Structure formats: C-alpha cells, structure tokens
Chain A
Amino acid sequence: MMARAPFRATLLTWLVAMFSLVMAMSASSQSLSVQPLKIAGTVSSADWEAYRSRFVEDSGRVVDTANGNISHSEGQGYGLLLALAASDRRSFEQIWSFTFTELLIRDDGLAVWKWDPEAKPRVTDRNNATDGDLLIAYALAKAGEVWQEPRYTTAAQKIARAIGKNTFGRSGRSLILLPGANGFGAEDRPDGPVVNLSYWVFEAFPVMAALAPEYEWNRVWRDGVLLLQQATTGRVRLPADWLSLRSGLQPKPADGFPPEFGYNSLRIPLYLLRAGMIDLEWLRALKQRWSAENEGVAVVNVVTGQIRERLTDQGYAVLHAALACALDGTPVPAALRAFEPSLYYPSTLYLLAKSLLGEKYTQCVSSAAP
C-alpha cells in the first residue's frame, strides 16, 4: 500500500486535470472540474454525536427514521462519509462492519440496497442502488487514504470495479450510470434506459477512476453533466428525479414515477457544490428559485411547475444557504448554524452541506460573518 501511494497521487492529479479538460471541450462554454475534498475533520464531534446517537445503532446500522427504520446502502455510505468527516474511526469501522456483513453479499460485488429489521431474511430486495455503492466505495477510498488502512482501500477498489462492470450503460452515444445493475436498461423497460441524476456523486468519480481505471469514469461523469443540462432546458428548468432517455437527447419523466423534482434531485446541487463544479449556469437559476422571496426549496412538478410540498427543515434550507454562499459569498443565516437533528435524510443533507462549508467556505460560517 505504501509503495503505491506516490503513484496514486500522481495518477489522481492527472485524472483531475483530465476531468476539467474534457469539460472545457464540451459544447458548454462553462468550465467545470472536480476539486478534491479533504473531508476528514470537517464535522464537529458535537454535531456528529448528535447524528450518530440518533441514527446509528451499535451494530453499525444507519437507520432511516422516516422509512420504517429500514437501512439502505445509501444510508450506510452517508454514515461512512460523515464518520470520516468527524474523524471518528470507531464509528466508521462499526458502520463498515454492518455494511460488509449484511449488504455486500451480491454475487456481482455490489451492495443489496435495502435491509428491513421487520423482515426475515432482512434483505427483501436483493437489487443494488448505484448511488449507495458509489458512496460506500468513495467513503472507503477516502478513509483508506486518510487512515492508511489497506482493508478499506481494497474493499473500495472491489466495489469500484463492480460499479464499472455492472452499472455503466449506453444511451445513444452517452455512457450513463444506471440506477441499478438490473431493471433500468433499454431492454428492461419500455421507456428504458432510465436514470436518476442524483446518483451521480460527482466528487467520487476521479477517486473511482483511480481505483478502477479500466472503466470510463470520466465519460460517465461528463455525460452526466450533459444530461443534467439537457434535463434543465424545459420551461420549469428542473429535472425529474427519474428520467427516461428513450428518446435520444431529450430526457423525459420516466413511467411509473411522479414527474417531480423531489427528494432525490435536491441532492444534485449539493453534489455539484461538493465537487467544486459551481460554474454551471443552472445552479444560479436554482439559487434564485430557492430564495425566500421566490418559492423556496420544494418538491415541484416538472411539467406544470406546481409545488407539491414546501421543504422547510434545516437540512433543506441549508441547501439554498450553501448555494448562496458558494455563488455569492452570502453568509449562512444564524438559524442554520446550529445543528438541530430531525429525521435521517434532512439531517444527513445538513451535515454534508456543513462539512463542505467547514472545509471550503469558512468565511460564510465564521463567527465574524453577520
């Protein structure tokens, strides 16, 4: 492991350069690139303790308190990432132990996505969710590097290869990230392929590319950004959570899902900010839409533009605050500075945003800021 580190560092630098270069060549005039995050040490132990004591069991299971106390691969991935952000090696190991023994059991090396404490066996749906796999692999890779733990790096690499092998799909000339290894492709559904743009955890792509360079992470990353641009050209300028790519370049809301910019897609701007991809015109429009004078953060019907649900929890409000900070340097309002954990999902978004602000935008959260 030690012997490989210098090589990895070089490769990573090169990859990051490649990721930005390609974007400059794309049709868009915007220049985008992934800026690596440090992550470790960006969440205070008090905030993390408030999260951990509510949502992480002794077994290492991250509990989705709004969904029948089930667990999922995504939650385990977030738990790992936040434990790393809090530099809590103990909790990281605990969450990994559960993830490894209970979820990482698929023949293809991906994680089963859902674990239900009320069911027997606990795994009732053996499908994977690619964002969960990405988050787990990313957290493991970062932790392996920070803590010099080869077990984590090896596991991250296995998952990265499994993602590349099983979830990359084609749509016309695009290379896309399928939401699951099964069931979303062109041959699986009449409106397939179907994608979920919030499954592109952009910051993870260069890291995955270093772990499994035999797969075209760079293209998937780039085509994800292009898809996002295509999906936000409509009147409402918001992508639906689930998009059908059946008709070439114009993504449409997928069958069987509400045509909504919903809980899934809320994460897209957060992932863009975390990856440092802020030069995207859409983010500016979204910041405008989300401001208090306009409609605020909400679940919106992407066809009619109607609001179905306004989201006022701290974890959603901080998404707008982070946008305003990153784009305009607006300080984060005082009401959002102290963590008030509620449910698993908004609490997770809150800490992910706060971790980013703590690492890259301290001026927006420093006590000197108004």
Chain B
Amino acid sequence: MNAEIARLRALYPNWTPPSDLSQLSAGGAAAPPDPIIERLWNLYREDRIAEVRAAIAERQASDPNWKPPEELVTALETVEARRRLVNASDSGQWQTVLSVATESPSLLTCTNVDVLWRVAEAFARTDQPARTRDVYTYLLTNCANPAERLATLQKALTLLPEQQVADLLQFERRTGESPDDFSSVRDELARRRVERASLDSKVTASAEDLAAVERLIRNTNEAGPVMTLGWYNYHHGNPARALELFKTALDRNGGAKAAEGYAMSLRALERLTDAEAFAYEWRERAPENMKIYLDIATALLSQDPPPRLDARVVGRIVPVVTAQRFPDGAQALGWYSYNTQQIRTARDWFRTALGWKPEDEPSAYGLALSTQRLNERAAFNAIVAQWRGRSERIADLADTANPGSGRRSAPVQPRAEMDAAPRPAVPRQVTVERVEVEQPLVRTEEGVRVRQTQARSVLGRSCAMTRNPAGLSGDAALTRGWCLMEINRPLEAVAAFDQAIATGSNRAREEAAYGKSLAYLRKNLTSEAAVAAAEAPQTRTRQVELGASILTQRALAAYRDKRYVETLLALSERARLVPEQNDLLLIRGWSYFNLGRYKDAKQVFRAVQRTGYSEEASVGLNAIREATDQVSQ
C-alpha cells in the first residue's frame, strides 16, 4: 500500500497531504484587514471566479503594490485548475487532464474524488492502466466515503482489465463504522466470466460463478443476466434450458437479442416449424433477427424427407427471401419446389439464387436438373457449358442424360438426399430418368371445358345428393368435383378433387388440383388454394391464372385487415403475373396512403384518373392533399 502511495508521489512530486479549502476560506474571512478581501472571498464562495480575478486586477491597476492574500490566490488557482480539468475531461482532452493534475497536485485529494476519477480515466485513455490502478489504489487506501469507494470499483470495471479489478477488491473494509459492500462488483466479475464462457463452448464457467448469475437473475428484473445464462446453456449443449431462459428474457423486455436466442434455441431443439413462426414475427427488429429468420426458413425448407409445409408458411418465406436477396433461401425454395413437383418454379428459384450468388454450384446443379426435367435443351446446355469444368456432377448429368425423347410416361418422383448440415441442403444424387414434357395448353384447357360442359349438361344435378367420393375412380371423381362446383358447393368439390388426385392419372391429378384451387378460392381460402395449386404441376397459363386469383384474394384480405404492407406485397407479386386493373390500383393507392407514402399514392390515383374519370381516385387525391397539408402545418 505504501508502495502505491510512493508511486503516486513519484508521479506528483509536489504532492502534499491535502489542506482543506474551506478552512482556507474561513481563515480569510476571519480577520479582514481590507473590505475588498471579504468581498473577494464572498465572490469566490459564490463561484464567481472571473469576477474575483477581475476585481484583483482592477485593484492592482490602481495600486501596483497591492497583493491579494496568498490563500486566495491558491484557492483561485485550484478552482481554475479543477474547471479546466473537468472541461478537458468532458471533451476527451486527456493530456490536458494529466498536465493540469501535474501542475495542481493539491487537487488530488479525497475532497475531490471526482477529479481523482477523471485523472484515473485520463491515464486509462492514454494507455497507462498501471497508473489508473495507482489512482484507484490511492483512493481506496485513503478516502473513507463508502459510496465513493464502491463507485471507484464501478469505474474500475469500465476501465481496467478484470484481474486488476479483482486485485482492488482486497481493499474492501469489512469492519468499522461504515463497512464496504463490494459484492455487486464481485457479482459483475462473475457475470462477465460467465458471459465470456457463454459464447465459447470450450470454456466452462465455475459453479460459483453460475450461482452468482442465478442470484442476479433472482434479485433483479433485468434481462441481461438471463440472456447471459441463456447463451451459456445454448453453447453448452442445453438448448431446452436456454429456451426457458430466453423466454424469461423476452418477458423481461430483452427484445431482439432475446428473440434471437429464443429462435436459435428452437432451431437447436429441431422445432423448425415453431422456430420459423416465431422468428418471422421478429425478423424486422434487427439485422441479426432477419438473419436467423432466413437461416431457419432455409433449414425448414431443406428438411429430409422434404416436409409438406403449410402454404401460408411458404407464402411468407418467399417475399422475405426475395426482399433480402438471400441466395441460400432461394436455393432452398428451389429444392422445395423441385421436390414438390413444381419444376418450373424450381428452375426460376435456382436461376434467382444464381443471380444473387453466381458462384453457387448447388443452385447451378438445381438449375441443370430442372431445365433437364423441363426439356429446355438450350438452357440446360448453357448451364452445363458454364459449369462443366467446375462441377463434376453437372458434367455427369449432361453425359448420362437421355435427352430429346418426347415420350410420355408417369413422372418419376425425384428423390433428393439432403445434407444434414445446417447449410441449405444439397441433393447429392438425383436420378431423373425421364424428361417430362408439358402437354400443349389448348388440349388441356379444352379437356377441362369439355368436362365442365358435361358436368353441367349431362350430369346436371345428379351430384347434388351428398355422397362420399371415396369409392370413385379418378375420372368419375373429377367429373363429380366439377359438378359440385357447378352447383356452388365448393367444399364438397374439394373432397371429390382430392379423390381424383389420389387415384387419377397424371392428367386427372393436374386437373383436379386446378379444380381444388378454384374451389378454395371460391370459399376465400387463399392459403389452401395455394397449397392445392402446388399439389400437381400446372400449365403456365393456369399457374398465372391461379396465382393471380390467389394473390388478389390475399391482397384483399390483407387490406381488409389493414395490413397494408402485405397488401402491397401481394399486389406487386400479382402485378408480375398479370396487369393490374383499376379496382386493384385503387387498393394499392389507398394502401400507400394508409402507410403515409403520399407521393406513391398520388402517382397511383393519378394513373387511375388518366384512364378516365374516377370518383374514387379523386377522393384519394383530395385525401392526400388534406393529409399533406396537415403534415406541413
């Protein structure tokens, strides 16, 4: 301890034990030989330092032999030094802090603990931590106020390495009138050790430290320690406990970081569906939350065997992956589409993924497979030419392909082996023996029309009697489905179409899936319609037709629920398929309006008006005028 004081003395050679300034001022006021002296001390006590200086100068100007009392000069210099030191420290001018302290060692006393703290910080900020520790040691050795002593340790926590803080704990006074209680500092050190271990699975925290953090969790309402323990458990093989802790952290307003931990724990527990739903809600809160959502969505799509996902889930993954231009997600959507027989969609996703990440071999492989399945020779050859030298499996695909045969047969369910790695799954071996060829559009549509006509005219109301479609053949079930649609009983039609999908030929399955989508659309069951549309490959025209209908209904539903961002998303997706007609343009305009995007809204309403007079568009433009006037007021 004496050595520390000696070191401080070495630092400030002129340092002498403090003389109390209040005594000085009392002494000055005790026997005033001159009325001006008392006035000066009064100004000094009121902290009007510039005026004291001014009065001294004025007096000296008129009386060159006059000298202010030595104590007053010292007191002034000390106050000025303290001001400069504090101002310099507030502005991060650490050299000035140190030089002022060196020139005014009388400042460095227990009556000016704040100054001591600032000097300690200046040492730390100028890479002299040993000196910082000296100042704290001096303070803990000499100054008595327990609150200031504890605050000293807390300052040390922000400026010194932990080992040095731990060393300072030895100065804790356990006895006497006002003993110290440094337990909060000990707990903080424990929390930091656990925090460090919490991010490194190779570092284990001691039971004592873990107990300290548990105690912190019990004794405070803060989310911080809960999350620390959450991450510790997450990284030390206990995601179930981590999940509980992150739940607590969320309840304690732990926010985005807690949500990230919660989502990661769900994923670690392989509860991917829950994880996706949860992470979706939090995705906009911080970039980390978006990242974990995309990772989870990718993992969800890439499960082995390929899962049957709720169309709602896929439907909400798509716009996020698109907006974020996340290549792994696009690739996963590619494989998901591929594995659910939506080969064109798969091809488009692989192409998108490559657009975002040109060097992504798995996406290139997916694109090669898809174009091969679709018999798109030129596209297939282009991708092979581009990747032959870089990917053996793409080269193999070209060498073993059996191209050009247009013969039809039942499509083979592709079997994809997925990697178990958290990376988006990559099919290692995919055997595609036959090339599917789309049937000419006209024939398909014609077939449907014929059957619909049949349903209307021949079968008439024969389907009106409720009957279990289970025993029907594919074709009969299909006819019954259309019949039920004709008499507007879409839910029963769905059952019939299901039977057709289960038992029918390829053609029947395709048509039944189409019928089922229309049935759901009629009941406003947009999501189900989307699922149904995915149940069998559809022709381009039908895809467009169904897609547009589904998106229209989705947009309208979102608009009814005042979810304007989603309305706009659905409308924009739809606009990519078919042109937007005026009634939907108005919905778009009002969505912009409700989101406060007045400029966009104005543009849309103007566009509607250009196609002919529209009262609704005028109303919209007036509303914008009113709203923007209000804004500018």
Closest Cβ neighbor of A103 among chain B residues: B87
* CA of A58 to CA of B54, assembled, Å: 10
Closest Cβ neighbor of A91 among chain B residues: B54
* CA of A97 to CA of B84, assembled, Å: 11
* CA of A58 to CA of B57, assembled, Å: 15
Residue of B54, B55, B90, B94 near A123 (CB, 8 A) is B90
Residue of B55, B56, B57 near A92 (CB, 8 A) is B57
Residue of B55, B56, B83, B94 near A107 (CB, 8 A) is B94
* CA of A104 to CA of B87, assembled, Å: 9
Q: Determine if B96 is an interface residue (Cβ-Cβ < 8 Å).
A: yes
Q: Determine if B25 is an interface residue (Cβ-Cβ < 8 Å).
A: no
Q: Determine if B410 is an interface residue (Cβ-Cβ < 8 Å).
A: no
B80 touches A89 (CB 8 A): no
Q: Determine if B48 is an interface residue (Cβ-Cβ < 8 Å).
A: yes
- Give chain B interface residues in 48-72, CB to chain A under 8 Å: 48-51, 53-58, 60-61
Question: B61-103, CB under 8 A of A: which get 1 and which 0?
Answer: 1000000000000000000100110011011111110000000
B93 touches A101 (CB 8 A): no
Q: Determine if A310 is an interface residue (Cβ-Cβ < 8 Å).
A: no
Residue of B55, B80, B91 near A101 (CB, 8 A) is B80
**B residues in contact with A370, CB < 8 Å:** none
Residue of B54, B80, B90, B95 contacting most chain A CB atoms (<10 Å): B54
Q: Determine if A64 is an interface residue (Cβ-Cβ < 8 Å).
A: no
A123 touches B87 (CB 8 A): yes
Closest Cβ neighbor of A122 among chain B residues: B87
Closest Cβ neighbor of A95 among chain B residues: B50
* CA of A91 to CA of B61, assembled, Å: 12
- Give chain B interface residues in 2-61, CB to chain A under 8 Å: 48-51, 53-58, 60-61
**A residues in contact with B80, CB < 8 Å:** 97, 100-101
* CA of A98 to CA of B83, assembled, Å: 10
A123 touches B91 (CB 8 A): yes
Looking at the assembled complex, report how far the CB atom of A114 sits from the nearest CB atom of chain B, in whole angstroms.
11
Q: Determine if A308 is an interface residue (Cβ-Cβ < 8 Å).
A: no
Looking at the assembled complex, report how far the CB atom of B42 sits from the nearest CB atom of chain A, in whole angstroms.
14
B83 touches A90 (CB 8 A): no
A105 touches B61 (CB 8 A): no
B54 touches A90 (CB 8 A): yes
Residue of A93, A100, A102 near B54 (CB, 8 A) is A93
B88 touches A105 (CB 8 A): yes
B54 touches A107 (CB 8 A): no
Given contacts A90-B61, A91-B54, contact A105 B87 (CB under 8 A): yes
Q: How many residues of A contact B (CB 8 A)?
A: 26
Residue of A91, A95, A100, A121 near B84 (CB, 8 A) is A100
- Give chain A interface residues in 74-111, CB to chain B under 8 Å: 89-98, 100-102, 104-107
Q: Determine if A296 is an interface residue (Cβ-Cβ < 8 Å).
A: no
* CA of A104 to CA of B90, assembled, Å: 13
Q: Determine if A126 is an interface residue (Cβ-Cβ < 8 Å).
A: yes
B54 touches A94 (CB 8 A): yes
B53 touches A112 (CB 8 A): no
A90 touches B58 (CB 8 A): yes
Question: A44-73, CB under 8 A of B: which get 1 and which 0?
Answer: 000000000000001110000000000000
A89 touches B57 (CB 8 A): yes
Question: B622-633, CB under 8 A of A: which get 1 and which 0?
Answer: 000000000000
* CA of A126 to CA of B95, assembled, Å: 14
Looking at the assembled complex, report how far the CB atom of B372 sits from the nearest CB atom of chain A, in whole angstroms.
54
Looking at the assembled complex, report how far the CB atom of A301 sits from the nearest CB atom of chain B, in whole angstroms.
31
Given contacts A60-B50, A94-B53, contact A107 B96 (CB under 8 A): yes
Closest Cβ neighbor of A102 among chain B residues: B87
Closest Cβ neighbor of A120 among chain B residues: B90
Closest Cβ neighbor of B62 among chain A residues: A89
B84 touches A101 (CB 8 A): yes
* CA of A112 to CA of B90, assembled, Å: 12
CB-CB nearest 3 A-B residue pairs: A93-B57, A107-B95, A97-B50
- Further contacts, 6 of them, CB under 8 A, given A90-B61, A106-B96: A58-B50, A90-B58, A95-B50, A106-B91, A122-B87, A126-B93
Binding site for A on B (CB under 8 A): 48-51, 53-58, 60-61, 80, 83-84, 87-88, 90-96
Q: Enumerate 27 A-B pairs (CB-CB under 8 Å) in ascending A order.
A: A58-B50, A90-B54, A90-B55, A90-B57, A90-B58, A93-B54, A93-B58, A94-B50, A94-B51, A94-B53, A94-B54, A95-B50, A100-B80, A100-B84, A101-B80, A104-B84, A105-B87, A105-B93, A105-B96, A106-B96, A107-B93, A107-B95, A107-B96, A121-B90, A122-B87, A123-B90, A126-B92
